[in-house]
Amino acid sequence: MSGADHPEYDAVIIGAGISGLVCGNYLAKAGMKVLIAEQHHKPGGYCTSFTRRGFTFDAAAHSFGGYRENGILRKVFQDFSLDKNIPITRYDPSDILLTPEYRVCLWSDPEKTIEDLREPFPKEADKYREFVAFLMNPSLNSFARIRSWTFKDLLDHYFQNEALKSMLAFPIFGNGALPPSRMSAFIGAKIFIEFLLDGGYYPDGGMHVMSNALAERFQEYGGELLLSSPVQKIIVRNGNVSGVVINNTLIASRHVISNCDARQTFLNLVGKKHLPQEFLNKLNHMIPSLSMFVLYLGMDQAFPENAGSNIWYLPQYDLENMYRSAARRSHKNISEFMMRISPNGKCILAFIHAPYRNKPFWLNNREKFIESFIIHLTHIMPDIAQHILYKEAATPHTMHRYTLNYRGAAYGWESIHSQLADVDFRRPSFLHNLSLTGHWSTQGLGIPGVAYLGYDTASTLLKRRKTLPS
């Protein structure tokens, strides 16, 4: 091993997920010498796309929020002058909630949503206005009050109808992998604001357009991006992090920022011997979020109706039970799901939460999942099976294989109270010069959440320069 041939970096970022890319852009733009090392052959982490037989599918993330005026992603795009380069469409309604009894659309204009609610839920429609007003403009006092609440407490505060509460909670369950009784009200509220009240945005061409644009801009700012380059080790001496090992070569760096899974960061890259026992105990008890099984279908004709909207199908209203079943999902208990028809109408993505299982399990069960999921989709598209030209699926094992996220977790750690805002997962005091960014850092999830963390991580490193570059 030799570091002699390599220049020293101000920062090495492990992983080119959205959080690593955003962080790298801010640092490189400010003049730091930055390297991003990514183990996969393309940037983006969960935010990539792939093409098979002429069909382009988003691999995992398939739309984003936080793009309103002053929204975090709008700010990020503006800071890197990407807002004019990447055409973004907002699909409206962003989300359609379907049950056997009801159909409710979540529109960009909450007043339209209220009108949708008025007929099925006459007593609750105006309560939705109050709920939205609270979310969009929470006073310091009221937000402090919900800090110890669950999302269920928050819904109970505004609504009475159990069916409506489940319908409003279902996209939060989908986007955070927790039922309302376990989801912190704070994170649930953030998801509602960023994914639903300001959601439905999509880069024309596919999610990879956003990741590729961030990767290109980073290099234009002078950053170096190494693809197909897993970091093998983080170098620690006397509690100080001083670089990484890539391809058996030591690369010295003043700061190391990990955008990859926290267990991998601490247990594999840093190593147990550098971790305090108390932290190790905590790490071993942390619960990851559920993973997902994703079905990709290429169709023989366009299905333009509701293309671009997230369609949520809730066959019954007991989300607590659904969470328990998802944790032991088999092909026999596929029930609730989310699906999205691509803007050109020709590709369908369908998602269900699923537990991590090993490769042999999925070798035996993948096809069974695909077939029963397709049968289940007939609740929304009765003749779907006759129009499929191409079918493929990603299992939780696939999620792990492509991103190395622990157990293929969709959203990092579960967003339960005991796992929120833990500084050891952002800037561990026992490892100087190491930061974590992204959905394992206990402070945010989803694309807007991890983009904010990328910004915040860079901003902390740059604080000696007083301001971020504009």
Ligand X SMILES: Cc1cc2nc3c(=O)[nH]c(=O)nc-3n(C[C@H](O)[C@H](O)[C@H](O)COP(=O)(O)OP(=O)(O)OC[C@H]3O[C@@H](n4cnc5c(N)ncnc54)[C@H](O)[C@@H]3O)c2cc1C
Binding site for ligand X (CB under 6 A): 14-20, 37-40, 45-47, 60-64, 230-231, 259-260, 264, 292, 294, 351, 399, 403-405, 410-411, 438-439, 445-447, 450
Cα 334 to the chain's mean position, in Å? 22
Helix (H) and strand (E) counts in the chain: 15, 18
Rounded Cα–Cα distance for residues 435 and 267 (Å): 15
Q: How far is the CB of 139 from ligand X (least distance, A)?
A: 27
Q: Which is nearer to ligand X, 14 or 314 (CB)?
A: 14
Q: How far is the CB of 425 from ligand X (least distance, A)?
A: 12
Q: How far is the CB of 412 from ligand X (least distance, A)?
A: 7
CA-based angle 377:380:383, to the nearest 5? Answer: 75
Rounded Cα–Cα distance for residues 54 and 68 (Å): 33
Q: Which is nearer to ligand X, 79 or 198 (CB)?
A: 198
Q: Which is nearer to ligand X, 114 or 242 (CB)?
A: 242
Q: How far is the CB of 24 from ligand X (least distance, A)?
A: 11
Q: Which is nearer to ligand X, 164 or 409 (CB)?
A: 409
Q: What share of the chain is helix, strand, coil (3-state, %, to 5)?
A: 40, 20, 40
Q: Which is nearer to ligand X, 194 or 424 (CB)?
A: 194
Structure tokens belonging to residue 215? 């990767």
Q: Contact, 135 vs 143, CB < 8 A?
A: no
Q: How far is the CB of 247 from ligand X (least distance, A)?
A: 11
Instruction: Give, to the nearest 10 degrees, the angle between helix 359-377 and helix 396-403.
Output: 120
Q: How far is the CB of 438 from ligand X (least distance, A)?
A: 3
Q: How far is the CB of 410 from ligand X (least distance, A)?
A: 4
Q: Which is nearer to ligand X, 247 or 429 (CB)?
A: 247
- Please state whether 81 falls in left (phi above 0), alpha (psi between -120 and 50) or beta: left
Structure tokens belonging to residue 206? 């596919």
Q: Which is nearer to ligand X, 447 or 458 (CB)?
A: 447
Query: Backbone phi, then psi, for 271, in 5-degree steps?
Result: 100, 140
How many residues appear in the chain? 470
Determine whether 163 is exposed, middle or buried from the number of CB atoms within 10 Å of its CB (0-12, 13-18, 19+).
middle
